[in-house]
Structure 1
Amino acid sequence: MKKKGRIIFNSRFLQNLTILERSEFLQYCHRRKYKKNEYIYYKGDPGTGMYFIEEGKVELILEVESDQDQSPYSYTIEAPESFGALSIGYEIRRISNVKCLTDCTLLGFFKPDFETLKNRHPVIAVKFMETLAMVAMKQLEIVTNELKRQVGAKHALSLQFESLMNPNNNDELL
């Protein structure tokens, strides 16, 4: 319970929930143990849920085939951070590999858990989705600003507009 408390009180992802709501939310999480060097998921896997790191360190590894520099980019995270959150609200495939750098204990929160949370505690589910939307919008803002810097504002913004207006993309957006 002490380890869960670290997540309850320190998780940036759960900040907009009250302490009681955080405790309730974590009741829907599943504890999973992984060994050092074990992969949690791979790039291209269907996104089925998110993970909170209770104990240990993981490495998110992004391999970009079209990049001239073929070496992967990696990012190390540890408790009480989380990863994979966008898979809860969106039908997306994983964009990275995630590997345990140490023995790890993770709390998994999966799509069926979210459905149960929605039915039993809709207020918590709405707050969770608000956070998810905020994270997605912040990521969009960062990527858009970098794209503006790389290819120009007109082209970057036209890509966003076209993705909304193109009838072939609308099915994916709905």
Structure 2
Amino acid sequence: MFGSDRFNKAKNRGDVVFNSRFLKNLTLLERSEFLQYCHRRQYKEGEYIYYQGDPGTGMYFIEEGKVELIVKPEPEHEGTAHSYFIEAPESFGALSMGYEIRRISSVKCLTDCTLMGFFKPDFETLKKRHPVIAVKFMETLAEVAMKQLEIVTNELKKKSSTEDALSLRFETYKDLREET
């Protein structure tokens, strides 16, 4: 059918616009504007997007395809790698946008993929041109990071004790305060 490829691409992009949890606080117009700063990239099945330990330079929205997030244990620890599978319209790598952290996983394409990358320089441009959109986006990132911290703290409580879990949070807070 004529134009069906174009229709599918528009539909997939629409899925990202309407279903991304990182864009949920934005109006439809703001989401559309945000996506103007994204870069569409094609990856082949089996290709790696980035590797565990790489500097975090941006995030990706999956427009089409399926990826595997692979977390390998540190060399000094024994254990097996863990995999997590995600597909359109999910995203990954978001916490690298607001924080100077290294990648905690490698990401491998399980199928041919179309991704929309949003990188730190794009965010800097967004902040200058559309500060309200940038603030809303960062608020969502902070909310997700806080929810992850809460979940990890609760899991740590189950595996050790409440005192150990909270002591670790307070110690890391103290260490971070001394770094700044």
TM-based fold match above 0.5: yes
TM-score, structure 1 as length reference? 0.93
1:145 is aligned to 154
Deviation at 1:85, TM superposition (A): 0.2
1:114 is aligned to 123
Matched, 1:170 2:169: no
How many percent of aligned residue pairs carry the same amino acid? 74
Matched letter for residue 12 of structure 2: K
C-alpha distance after superposition, 1:54-84 (max 9, x if no partner): 000000011113554x321111101110000
Give the count of matched residue pairs.
170
Structure 1: runs of 5+ lacking an equivalent: none
TM-score, structure 2 as length reference? 0.90
Once superposed, what is the RMSD of the aligned Cα atoms? Answer: 1.3
CA distance in 2 between partners of 1:170 and 1:32 (Å)? 38
CA distance in 1 between partners of 2:90 and 2:143 (Å)? 17
| Correspondence list, 1:63-102, <5 A | 63-65=72-74, 68=78, 70-102=79-111
2:163 is aligned to 154
CA distance in 1 between partners of 2:70 and 2:172 (Å)? 27
Matched letter for residue 44 of structure 2: K
> Is the CA contact (8 Å cut-off) linking 2:12 and 2:89 kept in structure 1?
no
Picking from 26, 29, 33, the partner of 1:20 is: 29
2:14 is aligned to 5
Matched letter for residue 46 of structure 1: P
Q: 1:123 to 1:24 in 2, by over 3 A?
A: same
Picking from 24, 49, 54, the partner of 1:45 is: 54
Structure 1: 4+ residue segments shifted above 3 A: 65-68
CA distance in 2 between partners of 1:150 and 1:112 (Å)? 40
Structure 2: runs of 5+ lacking an equivalent: 1-9
C-alpha distance after superposition, 1:29-68 (max 9, x if no partner): 0001000000000000000000000000000011113554
